[in-house]
């Protein structure tokens, strides 16, 4: 009996170590390290968040130049981080925690908890594994549709419109989200961040076979998705 108890304790310890390890590596993947000379959507997100806090007041270019580096250093100094001008996991974490707008953990701007949870489920189904800015972009497409007369004027109406989203068609919308950043992505979109510049559609160019979606005017690609009008 005693030996069984020891085995059970040992197995529990191994399980806890595996969970901690998985969480650590997921964190490392989510927070890409950016430094002077970097370019891309992650830099755009970085500049946008620094802009929200007043550290970066220039045109958002997606290029990590000396102005972005200086803004990162100032942010790091003010928030008690290592001042090296490099946006690593700790800097990303502090930025994302402090760019939540007021009320960002609950209903915002007329959105109910049910609508926010539905958006979290949708982005989990459609953009799981995408860069953070790409997850915000997917939510922005939904909100752009809600405001557009060609689509239903409610979140649920847009999400469940027939053949609108793959995640609804294949049931992935009902998967339980495990990424804590998804809710923040939803709130960032609700509070006005639209990385797509008004897109109404998105698709994966590697899997899409619809000639119609390819005919839409394309805006940009973020992660694996192309966003279009």
- How many domains are there within the chain? 2
Same domain, 127 and 218: yes
- Residues near 224 by beta carbon (within 8 Å), at least 6 away in sequence: 130, 134, 204, 205, 206
pTM (predicted TM-score): 0.62
Same domain, 222 and 190: yes
2 domain-assigned? no
Residue at a domain's end among 98, 127, 145? 98
**Minimal CA–CA distance to 159: which of 208, 212, 117?**
117
Same domain, 94 and 157: no
Same domain, 146 and 186: yes
Q: What is the pLDDT of residues 20-50, one digit of tens each?
A: 444 443 444 445 899 999 988 788 888 888 9
Q: What is the pLDDT of residues 85-144, one digit of tens each?
A: 999 999 999 998 887 543 344 444 568 889 999 999 999 999 999 999 999 999 999 999
Q: What gap in Å lies between CA 144 and CA 152, rounded to an integer?
A: 11
Q: What gap in Å lies between CA 44 and CA 58, rounded to an integer?
A: 12
Q: Where are the alpha helices (DSSP H) in the chain?
A: 2-30, 41-52, 66-78, 89-98, 113-127, 132-146, 155-159, 166-169, 181-190, 211-214
Identify the three-state secondary structure at position 39.
strand
């Amino acid at each position: 009996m005693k030996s069984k108890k020891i085995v059970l304790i040992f197995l529990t310890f191994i399980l806890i170590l595996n969970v901690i390890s998985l969480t650590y590596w997921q964190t490392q993947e989510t927070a890409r390290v950016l430094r002077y000379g970097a370019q891309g959507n992650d830099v755009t997100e970085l500049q946008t968040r620094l802009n929200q806090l007043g550290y970066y007041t220039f045109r958002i270019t997606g290029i990590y130049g000396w102005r972005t580096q200086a803004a990162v250093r100032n942010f790091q100094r003010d928030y008690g981080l290592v001042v090296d001008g490099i946006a690593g996991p700790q800097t990303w974490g502090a930025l994302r925690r402090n760019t939540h707008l007021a009320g960002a953990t609950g209903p915002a701007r007329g959105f109910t908890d049910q609508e926010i949870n539905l958006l979290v489920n949708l982005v989990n189904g459609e953009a799981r594994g995408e860069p953070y800015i790409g997850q915000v972009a997917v939510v922005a497409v939904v909100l752009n549709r809600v405001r557009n007369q060609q689509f239903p004027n409610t979140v649920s109406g847009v999400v469940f419109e027939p053949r609108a989203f793959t995640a609804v068609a294949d049931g992935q919308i009902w998967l339980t989200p495990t990424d804590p950043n998804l809710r923040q992505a939803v709130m960032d979109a609700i509070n006005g961040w639209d990385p797509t510049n008004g897109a109404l559609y998105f698709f994966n160019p590697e899997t899409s076979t619809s000639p119609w979606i390819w005919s839409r005017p394309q805006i940009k690609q973020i992660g694996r998705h192309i966003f279009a009008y």
